[in-house]
Each structure stands twice: as structure tokens, then as C-alpha cells.
């Protein structure tokens, strides 16, 4: 059992026969009475999010998970296929479970798969990923005095805010946790 005070971002727990991963955590201590813990969690089987409030001192069941190093192989639109690097087994994961991670997946990208028993539930991406810019607006002359940014489209289809000097054909490094531009890669 896990005390709800220990439910920090990234912790997994079981609630109502479902497995959740904490996305956001806040601890509220009023002047009187018990503290309340508010969490936002994602159901690892369905991808749905849940907002729940616990009283201080409540406990939730712990979940024992396994992790395997894997590689992204391909997608057929709704299902993404990953291969375990050690056993070469392939694991399908539905787009509902992957959520926003889809915009950072490239073929042959190394990831860490999270398993509950024999079921693949979640992935952990590398902190940064290098993506090619396929479409960028032309920078307006004279806009270089301040930190002006523009929106570009990368090879996976997501939009990223970048400095004006980034053009189509450049490769940029993007932080997968926040979706922000890190640097231009040579």
C-alpha cells in the first residue's frame, strides 16, 4: 500500500481495478483539519484521465511493474508496434494509450516499455529527440531584436515553437517532456 502523500508525478497505483500513473500532484493544507491531496492521473489501459482528491492518511494499493528496453518499429495507423531489444518479441500498443507521445516517435527509436504482467501499458521516451523540420514560415525582417519565435512543422506532424533562424530542412532537438525547442542540430 502507498500513502497518498507519496503519490508524486510518475508514480503508479491501483484504484477500482484500474492502473493509474500520476500526471500532476498538489498538496493542500488548510488552516484547520486534514490536508487534501489532489491528483490528475492517466489510466494506463484506456488512456483516460482522472482527477481525484484524497484525504491525508488515505492509502492506495501499490502496483509492481516491469520495464523492458524496446525499439519502435512501425505503425499501421491505430496500433504502434515495439520490439523488445533482448527477446525480439513484438508488442502492440494502441494510440489511445500513447496519447501525445505519438508526435515524438521515430522508426528505430529506443524506448522503455512498462509492463504489468504480460501487458504493455506505457512507454518512457528519451528526454530529447532530434526531428527534421518539414515546413517553416519565412522570418520577417527586423524581428530579430527580441526573442521572437515562429511555429514549424516537424517530420512527425507536430508543431514546435522555434527561433526565427530555424528553416525547413534543419534538424532540431525537442524536449519530449514539454514539447519545447532545445537547440538546432548540425
What pLDDT score does 63 carry?
86
Percent of the chain with pLDDT over 90: 32
The SS3 assignment for 99 reads helix
pLDDT of 143: 58
pLDDT band per the 50, 70, 90 thresholds, residue 142: low
Concatenating the DSSP letter of every residue in 44-88 gives TTT--EEEEEEETT-EE-B---EEEEEEEEEE-SSEEEEEETTT-
Each residue's pLDDT tens digit, 25-35: 888 888 787 88
Share the mean pLDDT of the chain: 87
- What's the confidence (pLDDT) of residue 182? 92
Delineate the domains of the chain, giving CATH numbers in brackets. Answer: 2-60 (2.30.30.30), 66-124 (2.40.50.140), 128-185 (2.40.50.140)
- pLDDT for 20-63, tens place per residue? 888 888 888 887 878 888 999 988 888 788 899 888 888 888 88
Distances (CA, A) of 133 to 73, 100, 145, 169: 22, 19, 24, 5
* Neighbouring C-beta atoms of residue 108, cutoff 10 Å: 9
Amino acid at each position: 500500500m502507498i500513502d497518498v502523500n507519496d503519490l508524486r508525478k510518475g508514480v503508479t497505483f491501483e484504484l477500482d481495478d484500474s492502473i493509474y500513473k500520476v500526471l500532476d500532484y498538489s498538496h493542500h493544507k488548510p488552516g484547520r483539519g486534514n490536508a487534501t491531496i489532489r491528483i490528475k492521473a492517466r489510466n494506463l489501459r484506456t488512456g483516460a484521465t482522472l482527477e481525484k482528491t484524497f484525504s491525508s492518511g488515505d492509502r492506495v494499493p501499490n502496483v509492481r511493474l516491469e520495464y523492458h528496453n524496446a525499439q519502435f518499429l512501425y505503425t499501421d495507423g491505430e496500433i504502434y508496434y515495439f520490439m523488445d531489444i533482448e527477446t525480439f518479441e513484438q508488442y502492440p500498443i494502441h494510440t489511445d494509450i500513447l496519447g501525445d507521445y505519438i508526435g515524438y516517435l521515430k522508426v528505430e527509436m529506443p524506448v522503455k516499455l512498462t509492463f504489468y504482467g504480460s501487458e504493455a501499458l506505457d512507454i518512457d521516451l528519451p528526454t530529447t529527440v532530434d526531428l527534421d523540420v518539414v515546413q517553416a514560415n519565412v522570418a520577417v525582417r527586423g524581428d530579430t531584436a527580441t526573442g521572437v519565435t515562429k511555429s514549424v512543422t516537424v517530420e512527425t506532424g507536430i508543431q514546435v515553437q522555434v527561433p526565427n533562424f530555424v528553416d525547413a530542412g534543419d534538424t532540431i532537438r525537442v524536449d519530449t517532456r514539454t514539447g519545447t525547442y532545445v537547440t538546432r542540430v548540425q
